[in-house]
A = this chain, B = another copy of it.
Amino acid sequence: MKDERLKVALVGCGTVGSQVARMILELDDDLASRIGRPLELVGIGVRRLELERPGIDRNLLTTDLMGLVSRDDLDLVIEVIGGIEPARSVILRAIESKASVVTANKALLASDGEAIFGAAEAAGVDVYYEAAVAGAIPIIRPLRESLVGDAVTAVMGIVNGTTNFILDKMASQGASFADALAEAQHLGFAEADPTADVEGFDAAAKAAILAGLAFHSRVRLDDVTREGITGVTVEDVADAKAMNATIKLIAKASLAPDDSISVGVHPTMVANSHPLASVPGAYNAIFIESRNAGQLMFMGPGAGGSPTASAIMGDLVTAARNRVRGVAGPGESVYSRRAITPAGQALSGYFVSLLVADEPGVLASVASAFAAQDVSLQAVRQEAAMVGDDGPLARLGVMTHLSSNAAVERTLVELGKQPYLQGTPRVLRFEG
């Protein structure tokens, strides 16, 4: 084994970065044996020097991030600060310095992956990002390599642990969104500002990355239709229970009939018979449908310092091995350049919950309103609801076959004109 150490710069030393630093030191000999050469952590870029960082040599710390990644002797740069800037400049500069890059930055890759992968390709270095999606669950590599000889038709999953924890609480304890969110924040599963999680931005970035990999195309954050869970009510949760289903925030990318890519993040009723329905707490899971492999499911911790660091370390060793052999792994594969399905045209099953006057002919009228828009129904549930000012009311739960969002919307506009409709209908996607 050559003794000359591979020089590693770590940018970011928070929850994840500090774990990465710990593992590089702890596993030193093992990593050297697995890579063929030892690693040397030459610097750690941080925002504040004064913080206590147990086990970390203060002399490694610097606030000059660009200076750190501009060193001409770097082999590998790990970026775990997240966000767009300065992460973007740090990574591009690292690539200029001919270092391979390992990042967990889903937001950056989903919004600006093209520039980064292009620069890496030109410089002949690797950019690995297993940690960017579903934490410790190996999903990037299986899509990039294991399934690369197959034809993936759909990738869907629970890729945000915070929202899964909240929805789990709402389902198991009948808690409201607000109460479940408060508990998640109290337990550290949600940030003080939970917007990125509960509004689905985090999941949407991951959906864009998964969609691009699965379908060998470039998919950007703006291509992803997005709906968070802030609007999920206790009534929705009760409806789901009644339909023997569970509400999950599902990120889904699938091939539309016209071969375009339909990609979105939506709170979705998942039938309890589906493996994704039972994914607990803050876990993540990815479900893949492939023409030849059939159905595959991957489950594991989707966040947290150690799991995310584990994924980063796997990429680090792989990039380092390439370095030792003087090669780079295969780059981004976007040859098929598929179009994105226009939002309104994306197909899904839908569940529509309607409060209607409990009178003869109402059900028939509702059914024909759907039929008029070519939305075919696979199940209808009716139950007596409270008595309203104008007499008894009924709750209708309507489950549709695959239909376009636009057709369902048009149906709801029609129903809105009907005198028997009370209040606003609630609509959720459905996965069988």
Could you tell me which A residues sit within 8 Å of B by CB distance? 19, 23, 27, 30-31, 33-34, 130, 136-138, 141-142, 145-151, 216, 275, 290-301, 304, 306-307, 309-318, 321, 325, 327, 330, 333, 335-336
Contacts and interface: CB of A to CB of B under 8 A. Distances in A.
Contacts of A318: 145, 148
A120 to B, nearest CB: 15
Given A149-B310, A295-B301, 18 more contacts: A30-B336, A33-B333, A33-B335, A138-B138, A138-B141, A141-B142, A147-B314, A148-B314, A291-B306, A292-B310, A293-B301, A293-B311, A294-B304, A294-B307, A295-B300, A296-B298, A297-B299, A325-B330
Copies of this chain per assembly = 2
Contacts of A151: 27, 30
The 3 closest A-B pairs by CB, nearest first: A149-B313, A138-B146, A136-B293
A148 to B, nearest CB: 5
Given A138-B138, A145-B314, A321-B330, A296 B296 contact: no
Q: Which of A30, A145, A151, A316 has the most CB of B within 10 A?
A: A145
A142 B145 contact: no
Nearest to A146: B138
Contacts of A297: 297-300
Given A293-B300, A327-B327, A310 B148 contact: no
Q: Which of A293, A299, A311, A318 has the most CB of B within 10 A?
A: A293
A143 to B, nearest CB: 9
Contacts of A141: 138, 141-142, 145-146
Q: Which of A27, A142, A146, A318 has the most CB of B within 10 A?
A: A146
A385 to B, nearest CB: 36
Contacts of A27: 149, 151
A295 B310 CA distance: 12
Contacts of A304: 294
Nearest to A151: B27
A292 B149 contact: no
Contact of A292 (B19, B150, B299): B19
A147 B148 CA distance: 20
B317 A292 contact: no
Nearest to A145: B318
Contacts of A299: 275, 296-299
A312 to B, nearest CB: 7
A311 B297 CA distance: 15
Contacts of A298: 296-299
A62 B315 CA distance: 42
A334 to B, nearest CB: 10
A41 to B, nearest CB: 14
A239 to B, nearest CB: 26
A149 B31 contact: yes
Nearest to A143: B138
Q: Which of A19, A27, A149 has the most CB of B within 10 A?
A: A149
Contacts of A142: 138, 141-142
22 contacts: A19-B292, A23-B149, A23-B150, A34-B149, A136-B292, A138-B142, A138-B147, A141-B145, A145-B317, A147-B314, A148-B317, A149-B310, A149-B315, A291-B306, A292-B310, A293-B311, A294-B307, A295-B301, A297-B299, A298-B298, A321-B330, A325-B330
B314 A292 contact: no
